[in-house]
Amino acid sequence: MSRIAVELVPRDRDTIISEARNVREFFPVADSINIPDLMRLELRSWDAAQALSQSGLYSDVIPHIRAIDIAPEGPLPGSDVAGLKEILVVQGDLPADLSRHSYPNSTESIIRRYKREMPHLKVYAAFDPYRRAPYAEREAVLRKVDSGADGFFTQPLFDLRMLGVCMEWLHQFNVFWGFSPVIGPKSRSYWETTNKVLFPHDFEPTLEANIDFARAAMKLVRQEGGNVYLMPLRVKLERYLPPLLDT
């Protein structure tokens, strides 16, 4: 396995630094932190990335950038963050608060702009096998690559067979394969309703089963020399991450 990242939600500056310190303690094999940009939170992903870099805990921090938030004539998010090396450009959902302005940017147009204005950055794009038909997602992948994408972060996967198929589709690209624990029926319903995930018939929404799956999935990725990111939502880091250390 080339790299292992852990995704942390930027609730506020002190919390994300504290959680990054916990990742360092409980899961020292992680070499990167990636940070989603959530409109319900005041701390933007690139500001959280700067806070983590300044803390000295991690130098490899990958903030998510929402394409629809970027004003055509405004500065690119992260342009003032010293030492920023990588970003993930996502399309972004329209804000529920209609007073918040958004722009009709495509992911591809923002990738091209970053590669033009900040060519030192490695720019990742998103891959989601559940969002639409496989041929359509494959076409989207190729458009993003043509726009300058250096690699991909996947939607979390929950099925080893689906993982194997997707690894075949993206075998020539630099990919961070995502895995996230789904604990309990409410969590499962969220992924099915919001993200259109199709779980395997024998999926068990327990911590133990999710740890077993992550271990098997990480081994498969390691065999192919890929990268992994873990999204430990609604679980204690100290319960989910340490069992994965010897994977």
How does DSSP classify residue 95?
A: P
Q: Based on the structure, what is the number of domains in the chain? A: 1
Among candidates 33, 91, 105, which has minimal Cα distance to 63? 33
Positions of E strands within 91-237: 122-127, 151-154, 175-179, 227-230
Return per-residue pLDDT of the chain as tens, 247 residues: 589 999 999 999 999 999 999 999 999 999 999 999 998 899 999 999 999 999 999 999 999 999 999 999 899 999 999 999 999 999 988 766 666 788 899 999 999 999 999 999 999 999 999 988 889 999 999 999 999 999 999 999 999 999 999 999 999 999 999 999 999 999 999 999 999 999 999 999 999 999 999 999 999 999 999 999 999 998 999 999 999 998 7
Do 178 and 156 contact (CB within 8 A), yes or no? yes
- Annotate 67-92 with b (16+ C-beta within 10 A) or e (fewer): bbbbeeeeebbbeebeebebbbbbbb
pTM confidence score: 0.95
| Alpha-carbon distances, residue 227 vs 130, 163, 230 (angstroms) | 20, 13, 10
Task: Give the contacts of 137 (CB within 8 A, at least 6 positions apart).
Answer: 127, 128, 129, 131
| Distance separating alpha carbons of residues 157 and 138, to the nearest angstrom | 17
Pairing of strands 32-35, 86-90: unpaired
Rounded Cα gap, residues 145 and 81, in angstroms? 25
- CB of 125 within 8 A of CB of 149? yes
At residue 46, φ and ψ (nearest 5 deg) are -70, -30
Structural domain harbouring 104? 4-244
For residue 174, give the CATH number of its domain: 3.20.20.220
How many Å apart are CA 151 and CA 169, to the nearest integer?
Answer: 13
Burial annotation 109-139 (CB, 10 A radius, 16+ → b, else e): ebbbbbbeeeeebebbbbbbbbeeeeeebee
